[in-house]
Structure 1
Amino acid sequence: MLLHCDEQLLTAYRHNGEKGAEALLSKWAEYSANPQNNPQFFGQTLSPDLFLVSEEVAMNVAFSTARKYWGRVPMEAQALFKRQGLDSTFMNERLNSFFYSQKGKETFFEQLYAQHTMNVEQLIWIVFGKRRDVHIQTTELQTIFLYKIENEYIVHMIYEEDAQFWHWLFMKKVYSLLIHKPLEQLTFIHEMMRHFEYSAQKSYTHVHNFSYNYKKNLDKCITHVDNQNPSCLAKKQLQLYQIVAHYMWTENDFRKVRELIASFEIEWRYSMYALTEKEKVLIAYILLNVAHQEQHEEDVIRYGEYLLDDERLNNYAIEIMLEYEELLPNIKPTPQAIVKNYANNYLENLYAILLQNYVQTGSYVKGLRFIKEHALVSSKKIHEALVHKKYNQEQFIAIESAIQKDIALQVNNSLQQIGASLEEWRRNYRDPEAPYYFTAQSSSLNMMNIMKVLFVTEQYELFEKLMEMYKKYLLVDEHFEEMRLFISAYV
């Protein structure tokens, strides 16, 4: 079930690509009541009157479309469910009773309204009451989007056929809302803009230098929207998204990120929408990483200690991840492991970065206290040995055994045949093409920083044993040479 404007734009797109669809939008714009308000940062806008619908229409369109495409178990998924002991006949009966009941319709719409998106895997979770470990590669209908705009709704589908067009159209609709609707009517801006960005990527994968053009047009668009709207919560959220987008899409030059943050903090400092603690944590996390990239050690320490104080980062991490999914790397932390890629978890990365900067500023006593206070800086076994001063052979054997297990899990994700995993690791961990190369580099660097602290603070026994293990399992020539020069200079 397609909206009339969607059908017309799809036909134009199929005939002459994006140019054809933009030409049709230009034609419609000629009859617009306010043709001047069409700045074209992301091409022509689309009048929201053409795609915003009532709650009843949104519910009917979304539910009937989901029933048409997801009302039966797809053939390609039947084998997956069968392996979990779920018969396709049983599943189809459950889907049938869900899609042909008023309660099913209400539940579907409630979930779609709360989550703003729906795909077939989410639907299966809703119908069968728990998550199933199934990943259905393709269905004719990929995603349903739903957002409330004051008393109306934008409901939009992404179909497998002409997927690039459907992403282009979703992006166009969100962009049109920003231009034509009062910003205070838009809720969940951060999530809507995240979907907007994803659809922009899908629409313009063919465009050279996409990230540069996206940021440039985004800045123009947000400046225009700022000027057209009074202060409101949505305006602050839009500017926060702009900061995060620039940070995530910038490789080396962070000047624009710092400028945006400085302007943002000035604008909202004394506003009725003053920064919340969560927003302060988000900004501090970005500035920490910018300072680390630019090698401003004192700033890294200042922001890092702020984020760890009162567990600020931990307290707001889940909220930040819900709003900015990719900002905080969130692979499960492994406090028992010393061999790991620290960048995979936001908290482990914070500890590793802070320790590195304590070392770089010569704050070795502070670094020792830091290692003793937080097991995640090193590992549970090393932490235990240092805190309780268990410098005996049994403890050192336990540390080495833990390192061997770490490596086996990195190589084969298994503790079976540890010896073979160690041999494979030794052969390949210095190879940039190896899947665990970055793990080895990250672990080596962190181990070096730990040992520098131990050496300077005269924890010689633990230092010597860790150095033996380092040479056996993690030796990276440039790191080791730098360590040798460090010790020579210190002595």
Structure 2
Amino acid sequence: MLKVDEQVLKESNGKSGQPLEEAIFRLSNRPDFQQDIFGAMLPIDSLLVNRTRAQNLIFSIAKKYWGKVDLFLHAALHEISIDLENANDRIEAFFSSPQGKKALFDYLTIHNELQFENLMALVLNKDLKLPKFKSVGGLRQIHLYQVGSKYFVQAILNDRFEFWDALFSKKIYSLFMQAPLNSIQQANELIKRFRFLVETYSTLNQSVITTNQLITYIDQENVRSYQLKELHLYNVISHFNGGKRHFQKIDALIEDIIANWGTGKWALSEKEFTLLIYIKAITAAHHKITADVMEYGKYLIMNDRLTNHSIELLLEYSDVLPNLKPEPDSLVKRYDKNYLEQIFYILIDALIQNEKYSEVVQLIQQHEIASCMSIYEYFDDAHHNEDALFKIEATVQRDIAFIVHNSPQYILQSVEEWLKNYNDEKSAFYEIASMTSSHLCNLLKAFFATEHYELFEKLMEVYKKYLKIDSHFNDLRDFVSAYVKN
């Protein structure tokens, strides 16, 4: 444990909140170390250690709490069928070897965080997933970040873990307020950690506000750099995930990023620009600005931009893109659980509202994920035979069977249960049914307006049989009536 940890622990009696704030203020003993952004700061020199000291700290903390299989570790390892005697011998050998110290440090320099299961993976040379316990040997995690030629080490103990989490957030804040941004390696990961920690002991709203203020300060105090651009991108994501109040500010934040980072050495990459356009598309749909939804939606599917960058985006921004596996074979589903299905869903809705019916049909003809494989194959078949139409109903029945019983074996029973419950707003099926009903009604409008009457009639039959929601159906009926009159 660092000296500053011992001092703050003693001064605050291990309490977070105001006692922690007052303890840090007394220890820093500098009025200019009190800022409106997040209160008192700790001097940066008290937070950083050299490489050797960091290695020794990490090793000694890990050995103290995880270096021997106690009763609790015994239970944890027993539950995942690990040979306990062998595990204990391997742990002791690991902490008796100079290679063990190096292995811990190397792991942390790459991953920034070490938990017990990560240690066991190093010791046993295989990946493990331990059950989630409140504590393993009294230590939750060890964190490591490099700042210049020095290192920032933080252990989170199980005893008074709220205090250690709060102290960790104050230290991160102190680092960003005092260290040049380009000296902080993995700065983006560290700012994410900061927001997460603040949220755990305040609110989501407050964590977004505080993080935004901190990033604004960092922006004012540092020169342009890739790290600074990353922080601005994260600020957008933080607002995107920060609730209704912060959702309103996203467009302005994105416009500011595009204006300031659109050109130059650290200009936005196509991947980053694609992320921002995706966020703008979802935001526009939320605000019901259909012209923007059409513009951004078309941009994302043009040249398969969203698809081409999907792996990178999902790896780096999994907290933005809904990433359930796409289901092009399914028609009955939550269209907002996969980023690509979501974009087609909101784009088709916007096109229908703007009477772009032929464009909707073109999307369906070109992309199976815009509807489902059975409808896509209907258009792909030059003869439009009846078998293709019957496949649509079979698709819906199979989808319902998987939703209700997670199996295609009980179609009749599944359909019966679905029909009894899907219209009930309290039902587990309602959100899926409502979203599918809305999407199908949009497809039906497009098929009717473009005179695909055979497909319209079959899909209408399927819709009324399995998915009809009165408000959607009444709107569809009014549309058809008005279209015929015109």
Answer yes or no: is the 8 Å Cα contact 1:191–1:323 preserved in 2: no
Q: CA deviation at 1:94?
A: 4.0
Aligned to 1:403: 396
Cα separation, 1, equivalents of 2:450 and 2:32:
69
For residues 114 and 470 of structure 2, the distance between their equivalents in structure 1, rounded to whole angstroms, comes to 50
Indicate the residue corresponding to 1:375 in structure 2: 368
1:162 matched residue in structure 2: 160
Conserved? CA contact 2:37–2:214, under 8 Å:
yes
Distance 1:87 1:367, change over 3 A: same
| Structure 1 counterpart SS, 2:324 | coil
Show the counterpart of 1:218. Answer: 211
The 10-residue stretch of structure 1 (40-49 or 424-433) with the greater mean CA deviation from structure 2: 424-433
Q: TM-score, normalised by structure 1?
A: 0.90
Distance, in Å, in 2 between the alignment partners of 1:319 and 1:13 is 44
**What's 1:120 paired with?**
116
CA–CA distance in structure 2, aligned partners of residues 341 and 312 of structure 1: 23
Range with bigger deviation, 62-71 or 280-289: 62-71
Query: 1:9 — aligned with what?
Result: 8
Offset, 1:212 = 3.7
With over 3 angstroms needed to count, the CA separation of the structure-2 counterparts of 1:233 and 1:424, relative to structure 1, is same
Residue equivalent to 2:190: 192
For 1:479, which of 465, 472, 479 is the aligned residue?
Answer: 472
TM superposition shift of 1:70: 3.9
**Residue 451 of structure 2: aligned partner:** 458
Cα-to-partner distance string for 1:85-131 (whole Å, 9 max, x where unaligned): x4333444444444443334333332222122222344444445554
Q: In the superposition, relative to structure 1, how do residues 178 and 133 fare at CA in structure 2: closer, same or farther (>3 Å)? A: closer
**CA separation in 2, counterparts of 1:399 and 1:130?**
46
Secondary structure (helix, strand or coil) at the match of 2:309 reads helix
Change (3 A) 1:194 1:16: closer
Instruction: Tell me by how many angstroms 1:394 deviates.
Output: 3.5
Q: Which residue of the partner structure matches residue 142 of structure 2?
A: 144
- Structure 2 equivalent of residue 207 of structure 1: none
**Structure 1 residues 439, 42: closer, same or farther in 2, change over 3 A?**
same
| Alpha carbons of structure 1 residues 38 and 133: separation in structure 2 relative to 1, 3 Å | closer
Q: CA offsets, 1:310-357, max 9 Å, x none?
A: 322233333333433311111122221112111111111112111111
Of 90-99 and 146-155, the range deviating more from structure 2: 90-99
Q: Is 1:299 paired with 2:295? A: no
Question: Which residue does 2:55 correspond to in 1?
Answer: 59
- For 2:130 and 2:378, the matched residues in 1 are separated by 43
Specify the alignment match of 1:45 in structure 2.
41
Taking the aligned partners of 2:46 and 2:111, their CA distance within structure 1 comes to 24
Which stretches in structure 2 are left out of the alignment for 5+ residues? none
2:378 to 369, 385, 406: 385
- Confirm or deny: 8 A CA contact 2:195 2:211 kept in the other structure: no
Contact 1:384–1:390, Cα closer than 8 Å, also in 2: no
2: CA distance between counterparts of 1:20 and 1:180?
Answer: 23
- Counterpart CA distance in 2 for 1:144 and 1:87 is 26
SS in 1 for 2:336: helix
CA positional deviation for 1:412: 3.1
Shift of 1:278: 2.0
Residue from 269, 274, 277 that aligns with 1:276: 269
Asked whether the equivalents of residues 301 and 357 of structure 1 are also in contact (C-alpha less than 8 Å), the reply is: yes
CA contact (8 A) 1:121 1:136 kept: no
1:241 to 213, 234, 239: 234
For residue 378 of structure 1, report the CA deviation from its aligned partner: 1.3
The 8 Å contact of residues 342 and 349 in structure 1, kept in 2 or not, is answered as yes
Task: Give unmatched runs, 5+ long, in structure 1.
Answer: 205-209
- How far apart are residue 37 of structure 1 and its match? 5.0
**Are the structure 2 counterparts of residues 466 and 69 from structure 1 closer, same or farther at C-alpha, using a change threshold of 3 Å?**
farther
Q: What fraction of aligned residue pairs are identical, expressed as a percent?
A: 35
Q: Give the C-alpha shift of residue 486 in structure 1.
A: 1.2
Over 3 Å counting, the alpha-carbon distance change for 1:253 and 1:218 in structure 2 is closer
Residue 87 in 1 paired to residue 83 in 2?
yes
Q: What TM-score do you get using the length of structure 2 for normalisation?
A: 0.90
Partner of 1:261: 254
Q: Could you say what the CA RMSD is over the residues aligned between the two structures, in angstroms?
A: 2.4
Supply the AA of the counterpart residue of 1:257: I
Aligned pairs (5 A) from 1:287-366: 287-366=280-359
